[in-house]
Structures are given as C-alpha cells and as structure tokens.
Chain A
C-alpha cells in the first residue's frame, strides 16, 4: 500500500507543514497557557508564522516542562474530548502524561499502519505484537496500526516466551514486533525448546524502543532468517510510528506530514547542517489533545532530506539513535533515569545516596545492577538483616521503574566520588 503523502515534492511537503504548523500553534495559543506565554514573550502571534524557520524562535518543550505542568497542564482540549491517556518515565517519580482525542488515535493508527507498510507488511500479514500493552505506548500503538492496515493482530504483550513461540508456530505469524533484544532472546529461547527459528513462518521484525546497531540487526536477521527494521517513536510525540526504515535499511523515514523534525546543536540551540549529528526536536503538526511545539527528544541523530534511493519516498530520513543528550538509559525498552533511582534511595535511611548503575547484557537481555552503599550506622552483622535491606531496596526501585533490577550492597565510600557531576552509570552493553 502506497501513501502519496510520503512521496510529496519538497515544496509541497513544506507548504503542508506550514499550514499545519500555523493551525496547531493557534490551537495551542488559545488553549495552553505555557505556549501562549511563549508566544507573548517573543511578542509574536501564531499568525505571524510565515515560514517553518520562524519556529526556531520558540523555546523547546521537554520532560521537565511536562513535569512542571503535571498532570493535565499541557492538555489543550477538555477532558470530555480525551479518549486515551498514556505515560512514560519522568525524570523522577512522576510519569510524563500524554493524551489522545479520537482523531489523535486515528492519526496514530495511520502513522503506525504506514510504518508497518513501509517495512513491507500488508493486510495479509499476521502480526505478533510482543510490545507491552498498557500505559507504555508500544503495545497499543502497534495494535492500532495493525487494525488500520487490516492485518491480523495477535496481542501477546511482552514476556511469556514459551507461549510466544508456541503461538508463533501454531498461528503462523509473519511479523514480530518487539524490542530488538527481546527478538534475540526469543530466538535463543526457541533453540532451547528445540525450535529452529529459521524455520518459522516469520519474515519481518519491526523492532524498536531501544537503541541497537547494524551488527545486532545482522545477528537478528541471520538467527531468524528475516528482515529486521528499526522503528522509532516516543510517547510524547505519539508513541511508536514516528519514523521507520524501508527496505533500503538506511535511515528511518520520519512521517514529516505529522511530525516536523529539526536537528539542532544541543548546546547552542542552532540547527546543524544536513547530515550532521545533533538533537532531534519534533513538533507535532496534527495532534489535538497534547500537541507540543519543538519537543526536545534528547536523542542524537543526523537527518537527510535526500530522496530515498531505495524506495523513492521524499520524507526525510533520520539515522539510528546515536546517543542521548541526557543520562537516560533504555533498559529492555523501558526508559530509566538515574534520578528516579536516586529519589528512591533518598527515602531509605539505611543507605547513603551514593549509588552506581551497572548495565550489562546477559545473553540477549539487559541487566541493571544498582550498587548501593550501606550506611555504617545501620550495618548489621546479621546476614538476614542485610539481605532484607537489599530486598527492600530492590522492591522500592522496581515499584518506580517497572523493571526487574539487581541490588548489590557495597561498602561505604567505595563508589567513586567525582568532582561535579557524579559518574552514575557504567554501561557495559556493546550496542
């Protein structure tokens, strides 16, 4: 299936983007105090926007902004028009909240259907969706896209590997959607069940929600005998379906008719030259409930406007995520901020607020070890007391992060103190 808008001439795309930018700016100016103030501070009205470049004057919106206006301060429609609310990890205890009107769900379904189609998926496919269903946007986003495309969807959600493989064989799944690391884990699991992953009916993997490399892609393609495509999205923009690879597998087509991308130097805030690395900033052009102007994704990418030599689409392409401008970690597809762990430890009086996170990949799956210094005042010489403390810390952290962690108690003063910004994270994953 071909979506014409993905093949627009650059000038036509720009015109469409400008019309939509003015419309969404007006909507935000009228309904969200934060944006009205931003325009007023510039002595500017949405009607003064004459080109896409005018956007560059507006301040960035980021997770901090969403935290300040938690929970509903950034909503631009009354709750009676909201159909769905999602959230993702905030930098501390509270999640960032995003909402969808009926039309937002339609747009989400459309961009996700386009993403599946871009990888070669059609209404004839059977899609096994192993992204988590829930507040996390991964599961439902893919689900809506598959419905829109007319494919058959098996809403497995994450985990339950034995069942995943059983049903994959029985239902003759053709597309698997999950994190890249889970697809590898599942292949290893298949082998342990004496199932040859190469002999399944699977032909496409649409993998995302965590950074991965071309090396990992080759491994996944080899072990499953499939084509593996990178998909990009974030809940603040819409969820999965913001950008995806085509058969060329060189860059992710960003659906720029809905999401206006900029790549800026995170320090100066100025746009970088085409092809240079910088922070991806996205303006949602068509969202109704929680549109954001210039949302700072904190993801480092490069971008090209060159027409795709493989598929002929003219929508700009972003590179794989090359890094982050903040200290966010992505572990098993879940966003984790060290500050979330810090806020938990500050509540536990037996520990010092000194900690270190060690991320590693055991087999195919990420492991997060939290090393915590025991406070001398509370050091007990009974093993069970210390083990109970470790267990309590583990539970408190897991409650906040929603992923399993390993807690290791270490001696006081053994975690390196550094001048200024502490080195909190040791990432041993080679990705």
Chain B
C-alpha cells in the first residue's frame, strides 16, 4: 500500500523549479502529483511520477539532492466532508500527519490524498479498518 514519493531539496531562486521540470520532460516522465513546501531560504519539492525508478536515477545523475519516501495514497469522496471523515480516523487514533497534499483523479471522479506519517504501517491498518480505500503504488503511477 506504499507509494514512492521523490523529494527534491531546492534553493529558493528563480528558474530552479523549471530546471527540474525540464529534466523530467526530456526523459518523458509524467508528474502525477506535486507539492511544494517552502521556507524563506529553501524549498522541498515532492513529486509522485509515473516512473519513479527512472526519475530517481535521472535526477540524481543531474545532481539534484533527492530523497525517496514512502507515502500513503487514500481515495476520498469528492464531496463536502470527504476529507473530514478520513481525518477523524487519524484524530481518534492520535496519529499525526507530517504533511499531505491532494489531487483529483479524472477517471473515477474521486480525490486522492497523499499522506506522509511517521508510522505508515499503523496508519494503513487504521485507514483500512475505517473503510478507506487505499491505492497501491502502481495504481497511482498509472493514473
């Protein structure tokens, strides 16, 4: 139930993001989900792509500072309260979320939340027990 996410350390300077997208475009790598966290000095770009193994290899080769992480992809209903019912499960179990971001999946009309937690195994169990649909890596990459 783990999904591979690639994080890239970026200095805050004009054109840096474009350098990353240019590498990905050249290698025919498609971005499934993207999130950018930033501070005044640096940013962290988090990506889920269709070919994570290739992406890691090429980004590293191009000299980017990257890290691979396992995240969880939860399907939620695209309706008011959809996210809330999932977060209730986390709150009840006192499980904290490091960060999350979402995207909309056009084939199924559902929203997908990417979630990073400290204890993924426990989170997966709680989510499954709570009836939340989780996507496998391959499912996300091929969306």
Which residues in A have some Cβ–Cβ distance to B below 8 Å? 374, 376, 379-383, 386-387, 390, 408-414
Contact = CB atoms under 8 A, between A and B. Distances in A.
A154 B39 CA distance: 43
A411 B11 contact: yes
Contact of B63 (A379, A386, A390, A413): A413
B85 interface: no
B65 A379 contact: yes
Contact of B98 (A376, A382, A414): A382
A73 to B, nearest CB: 43
Contact of B65 (A376, A383, A390, A408): A376
Interface in B1-36: 5, 7, 9-11
Contacts, number: 43
A390 B39 CA distance: 12
B23 to A, nearest CB: 14
A381 B69 contact: yes
Given A411-B11, A411-B65, A381 B46 contact: yes
Interface in B74-105: 98-99
Interface in B49-75: 63-67, 69
Contacts of B129: none
Contact of B11 (A379, A390, A410): A410
Nearest to A369: B41
Interface residues of B, number: 20
Nearest to B46: A381
A381 B41 contact: no
Contacts of A376: 65-66
Interface of B: 5, 7, 9-11, 37, 39, 41-42, 44, 46, 63-67, 69, 98-99, 116
A382 B98 CA distance: 8
Contacts of B99: 382
Given A386-B42, A411-B9, A411-B65, 7 more contacts: A374-B9, A381-B44, A383-B37, A383-B44, A386-B39, A387-B39, A408-B42
A374 B98 contact: no
Contacts of B7: 379, 381
Nearest to A387: B39
Among B37, B41, B46, chain A packs the most CB atoms within 10 A around the CB of B41
A379 B10 contact: no
Contacts of A383: 37, 39, 44
Contacts of A390: 41
A379 B42 contact: no
A55 B112 CA distance: 81
A251 B44 CA distance: 53
A414 B99 CA distance: 28
A387 B38 CA distance: 11
Contacts of B46: 381
Contacts of A381: 5, 7, 44, 46, 67, 69, 116
23 contacts: A374-B9, A374-B65, A376-B65, A379-B7, A379-B9, A379-B66, A379-B67, A380-B67, A381-B5, A381-B44, A381-B116, A382-B98, A382-B99, A383-B37, A383-B44, A386-B9, A386-B42, A387-B39, A408-B42, A409-B41, A411-B9, A411-B64, A412-B63
A411 B43 CA distance: 11
A412 B37 CA distance: 19
Contacts of B5: 381
Contacts of B98: 382
A377 to B, nearest CB: 10
Contacts of B65: 374, 376, 379, 411-412
